[in-house]
Amino acid sequence: MQSFSPFSYLSLFSLFTTLSFVKIVLTQDGFCSAPLRIDADSNSQPLYWKVTNPTLSPSHLQDLPGFTRSVYKKDHAFITPESQVFSPLPDWTNTLGAYLITPAMGSHFVMYLAKMQENSKSGLPPSDVERFIFVVQGSEVLTNISGSVHKMKVDSYAYLPPNLDHSVETDAAATLIVFERRYSGLENHVPEQIVGSTDKQPLLETPGEIFELRKLLPTSLAYDFNIHIMDFQPGEFLNVKEVHYNQHGLLLLEGQGIYRLSDSWYPIQTGDAIWMAPFVPQWYAALGKTRSRYLIYKDVNRNPL
């Protein structure tokens, strides 16, 4: 008869314990995605509703003091909803903001969430600073100094050139993701205000890749950054393991996946944000049962010197 040493019994116990833990995590709507919520009516929810209603942590970690999935390192940051801190936005009315990316990290741009309440109005960015806004919840009205008026809803966006007098107003709750940076101008190239929506932008060729790509701003030299919308079906991933001089600011609008940043691997879900410094190794793969979509900032059209 074969006998088992105490070490063998301990090993088997550890294996079964590990498998049970994995089963618990995988059955709770994916990694790091509890408290468990039944999304039976998810098809009737507005687009991007999970960005403003994220799940925060696995149910077995909800009561663990100090738990967060957020990480900050010298060449990247992974910022999750449970660690976002909102406070009144300077010069905005009835609006709370959470700064996700700022130059204090090493970035040359700012990325923040703006939660507008009833009778809210935006402030202006500092002098010579350009602004990009993208609506993730609710609707608002954009007006500029020339009197042009645009009603913006979820998936709408606007680029505001530096020193353009404008305002964003709403009479009900709305949430924006906002990018701002000090404009790097080129002689004889002048950016213009742009208002659009993701569904109106064409799919672009992505040689060697399988994801779907839309660019929300023109590629002309007047613009020193662009905003991309990238869609991945479950199981799709980036072919290139990117290392480049450009910086990124990313918000996951839908789905879940795995993001590699430097030597770390992060499970990512709707509502998570990422900062990527120049030359940090980066790679993404989509997981789950539905597409994943992210919005990503990228500086372009300027010599790094």
pLDDT (tens digit per residue) in 49-87: 999 887 655 566 666 788 889 999 999 999 999 899 999
What's the pLDDT score for residue 34?
35
| Bigger pLDDT: 244 vs 5 | 244
Question: What is the DSSP-derived secondary structure letter of residue 172?
Answer: S
Q: In this prediction, what percent of the chain has a pLDDT beyond 90? A: 78
- The answer, yes or no, to whether residue 3 has pLDDT greater than 60, is no
- The answer, yes or no, to whether residue 29 has pLDDT greater than 90, is no
Structural domain includes residue 5? no
Side by side, the strands of the sheet bearing 71-73 are 71-73, 76-79, 273-276, 248-254, 292-299, 225-232, 212-215
Backbone dihedral region for residue 271 (phi beyond 0: left; psi -120 to 50: alpha; all else: beta): left
Q: What is the mean pLDDT of the chain?
A: 87
Torsion angle of the four alpha carbons 214, 217, 219, 225, in this order, in degrees rounded to the nearest 10: -110
**Range from 21-25, 38-42, 210-214, 253-257 carrying the lowest mean pLDDT:** 21-25
Here the CATH number for the domain that contains residue 196 is 2.60.120.10
Contacts 24+ apart (CB under 8 A), 144-150: 144/193, 148/193, 150/195
Q: In this prediction, what percent of the chain has a pLDDT beyond 70? A: 83
- The Cα–Cα gap between 99 and 222 comes to 27
Amino acid at 252: L
**Range from 44-48, 87-91, 195-199, 293-297 carrying the lowest mean pLDDT:** 44-48
- The Cα–Cα gap between 39 and 59 comes to 16
Split into its structural domains, the chain has a count of 1
What's the pLDDT score for residue 95?
98
Structural domain includes residue 17? no
pLDDT tens readout for residues 269-293 = 999 999 999 999 999 999 999 999 9
Sign of CA dihedral 84, 85, 86, 91: negative
Q: In the chain, which ranges are continuous DSSP H helix?
A: 6-26
What's the pLDDT score for residue 61?
64
- The answer, yes or no, to whether residue 24 has pLDDT greater than 80, is no
Q: Domain of 126?
A: 49-299
Averaged over 220-248, what is the pLDDT? 98
Tokens at 224, concatenated: 């020193």
What's the pLDDT score for residue 53?
83
Structural domain includes residue 248? yes
The pair phi, psi for residue 11, each rounded to 5°, is: -65, -45
- The Cα–Cα gap between 16 and 236 comes to 31
C-beta of residue 51 within 8 angstroms of C-beta of residue 84 = no
Amino acid at 173: A
Residue of 101, 97, 77, 79 whose CA lies nearest to 87: 97
Residue 287 CA to its chain's centroid (Å): 17
First vs last Cα of the chain: how many Å apart?
A: 75
Query: What DSSP element (H or E) covers 135?
Result: strand 129-137
